[in-house]
Amino acid sequence: TPFRSSKQVSAQKFVSQALQEEYNQADRELKSQLNFAEDKIKITLENYAEAPIQVNAAQRAYLQKSTLYKNGLTDLTDLTQTIYTLNRAEIDRDIVNNNVWQSYLLKVAATGNFDLFINEF
């Protein structure tokens, strides 16, 4: 029985080491997800700050092209292209807004703390 007990102790040590390694792996994955979420937040906030500038530029371009079209100085193709650009800028702004929310949700999922999301917005 002493030989058997020592083997059981040895087996239990290996089980404990395996569980510790699984814990370490999960910890590394969570830290990696947290770093990814923080990087994504940084990028989406930069895009969020830029989006209104792009929409404003597209609105001004549309105003210019529509004025030129009304005065007969440009054709319908140019005006349509400008409308498309304005529409795309507005869609991009909405997508960026959604991406900001998603990046904060990623951080909440990585930390497990929903208060981060509630306090941020």
Q: What number of CA atoms fall less than 13 Å from residue 74's CA on the CB side?
A: 17
Residue 22, judged by CB atoms within 10 A of its CB (0-12, 13-18, 19+), counts as exposed
The tally of domains found in the chain comes to 1
Per-residue confidence (pLDDT) for residue 121, from 0 to 100 = 60
* Contact in structure between 89 and 44 (CB atoms under 8 Å): no
Residue 3 in domain: no
* Contact in structure between 24 and 76 (CB atoms under 8 Å): no
Residue 117, Cβ neighbours under 10 Å: how many?
A: 15
Average pLDDT, integer, range 85-108: 95
Per-residue confidence (pLDDT) for residue 113, from 0 to 100 = 84
List pLDDT tens digits, range 44-59.
Answer: 999 999 999 999 999 9
Residue 1 in domain: no
Per-residue confidence (pLDDT) for residue 39, from 0 to 100 = 96
Average pLDDT, integer, range 91-100: 96
Q: What is the reported pTM?
A: 0.76
Residue 88 in domain: yes
Helices (H), ranges, 71-114: 76-111
Average pLDDT, integer, range 82-89: 98
Residue 22 in domain: no
Instruction: Please say if the pLDDT value at position 118 is more than 80.
Output: no
User: Domain range spanning residue 110?
Assistant: 33-120
Residue 25 in domain: no
Residue 17 in domain: no
Residue 92 in domain: yes
Residue 64 in domain: yes
